[in-house]
Copies of this chain bind each other. A is one copy, B any other.
Amino acid sequence: MTEQRGRLVVISGPSGAGKSTVIARLMQRRQNLCFSVSATTRDPRPGEVDGKDYFYVTREAFDRMVETDALLEHAEYVGNCYGTPRDYVLQRMEEGMHVLLDIEVQGAKQVYAKMPDAIMIFLVPPSLRELKNRLCGRGTDSEEKIRGRLERALAEYSEAQNAGFYQYIIINDDPEVAALEMDAILTAEQCRFSERKSILSEV
């Protein structure tokens, strides 16, 4: 079988659903998987490495990336700009790596418009009640903050339903099962007719 090009994998889902845990387990299962590295206008923090944690760019350079359509998505957050460099993602995919993007529904919408063959996954907790338990269990957030997060989660559910581009839902009851399902999705997507149809023309 010929070496396949990697795919872009977009994962969204409410904060507290356990995305990072599931992704960490998935990365233990597969070598051909990496995170995207974002471009940002914020200053590097001590210990952060350019090209590994972020690509640190000036506001001018960032604006130029936006203008030249060099970003798959971008957003501003507390005065700093963040974006996903298209070239970086495409290069890793060419190397056969699946590139993971952990972003909110609005960012996912931008990415999907530019990369319609991305694998679009929405990851949720087993229930909102369970999400509330998890957020309370952390013991780090005030009651008001937790209420805010739950409202945000509900809004994201509604956005995800209306978005129409999510292909898969992962229910994170057990992170190991969730990682196994994500692994299966990546394997299944490599078996797509569109990915392999050339074999039907090779005689």
- Which one, A20-28, A60-68, A181-189, is touching chain B? A181-189
Contact B180 A187 (CB under 8 A): yes
Contact A171 B124 (CB under 8 A): no
Contact A193 B171 (CB under 8 A): no
Prevailing SS type, chain A contact patch: helix
Contact A188 B181 (CB under 8 A): yes
Contact B181 A169 (CB under 8 A): no
Contacts of A54 in B (CB 8 A): none
Given B122, B187, B196, which contacts A188 in the complex, CB threshold below 8 Å?
B187
Answer whether A200 and B168 are a contact pair too, CB < 8 Å, given A180-B187, A184-B184, A185-B188: no
| CB interface residues, A 151-203, toward B, < 8 Å | 154, 157-158, 160-161, 166-171, 173, 180-181, 183-185, 187-193, 195-197, 199-203
Contacts of A202 in B (CB 8 A): 127-128
Is A1's CB within 8 Å of the partner chain B?
A: yes
The interface on chain A, measured as residues whose beta carbon lies within 8 A of the other chain's beta carbons, has a size of 38
Answer whether A193 and B1 are a contact pair too, CB < 8 Å, given A160-B200, A168-B188, A184-B188: no
CB-CB contacts of A78-104 with B at 8 A, as 1s and 0s? 000000000000000000000000000
Q: Which residues of A contact B (CB under 8 A)?
A: 1, 122, 124, 126-128, 154, 157-158, 160-161, 166-171, 173, 180-181, 183-185, 187-193, 195-197, 199-203
Known: A166-B193, A171-B199, A188-B188. 17 other contacts (CB 8 A): A1-B173, A127-B202, A154-B203, A160-B200, A161-B197, A161-B201, A168-B192, A169-B193, A169-B195, A169-B200, A171-B196, A181-B187, A181-B190, A184-B184, A184-B191, A185-B187, A185-B191
